[in-house]
Amino acid sequence: FQAAFTLLLGPFTFFNVQKTKYLQIMTSLMRWIAFILMIILALIRISRGQAEGHPSMAQLSGIRNLFGVCVYSFMCQHSLPSLVTPISKKKHVNKLVLLDYILILAFYSLLSFTAIYCFRNDTLMDMYTLNFTNCEIINVAFIRYFLGLFPVFTISTNFPIIAVTLRNNWKTLFHREGGTYPWVVDRIVFPAITLVPPVLVAFCTHDLESLVGITGAYAGNGIQYLIPAFLAYCSRKDTQLVFGSGTVNKHLSPFRHTFWIVFVLIWGFSCFVFVTANIVLSESKL
Taking 60 as the threshold, does the pLDDT of residue 45 lie above it?
Answer: yes
pLDDT confidence of residue 69 = 67
pLDDT confidence of residue 78 = 64
pLDDT, the chain, mean = 80
> What pTM, to 2 d.p., does this model score?
0.70
Q: What is the mean pLDDT of residues 199-223?
A: 74
Which of 16-20, 55-59, 126-130, 188-192 has the lowest average pLDDT?
Answer: 16-20
The better pLDDT of the pair 172, 215 is held by 172
Q: What is the pLDDT of residues 130-158, one digit of tens each?
A: 888 877 777 888 888 888 888 877 777 77
Taking 60 as the threshold, does the pLDDT of residue 200 lie above it?
Answer: yes
pLDDT confidence of residue 263 = 92
Taking 90 as the threshold, does the pLDDT of residue 262 lie above it?
Answer: yes
Q: What is the share, in percent, of the chain residues with pLDDT greater than 90?
A: 5
Q: What is the mean pLDDT of residues 197-202?
A: 85
pLDDT confidence of residue 163 = 85
pLDDT confidence of residue 76 = 63
Taking 60 as the threshold, does the pLDDT of residue 286 lie above it?
Answer: no
Q: What is the share, in percent, of the chain residues with pLDDT greater than 70?
A: 84
Q: What is the pLDDT of residues 227-261, one digit of tens each?
A: 889 998 998 888 888 887 777 777 677 788 889 99
Taking 60 as the threshold, does the pLDDT of residue 63 lie above it?
Answer: yes
48 pLDDT band, cuts 50/70/90, is confident
SS3 assignment for the chain = CHHHHHHHHHHHHHCCCCCHHHHHHHHHHHHHHHHHHHHHHHHHHHHCCCCCCCCCCCCHHHHHHHHHHHHHHHHHHHHHHHHHCCCCCHHHHHHHHHHHHHHHHHHHHHHHHHHHHHCCCCCCCCCHHHHHCCCCCCCCHHHHHHHHHHHHHHHHHHHHHHHHHHHHHHHHHCCCCCCCCCHHHHHHHHHHHHHHHHHHHHHHCCCHHHHHHHHHHHHHHHHHHHHHHHHHHHHHHHHHHHHCCCCCCCCCCCCCCHHHHHHHHHHHHHHHHHHHHHHHHHHHHC
Most trustworthy range by pLDDT among 22-31, 101-110, 150-159: 101-110
Taking 80 as the threshold, does the pLDDT of residue 120 lie above it?
Answer: yes
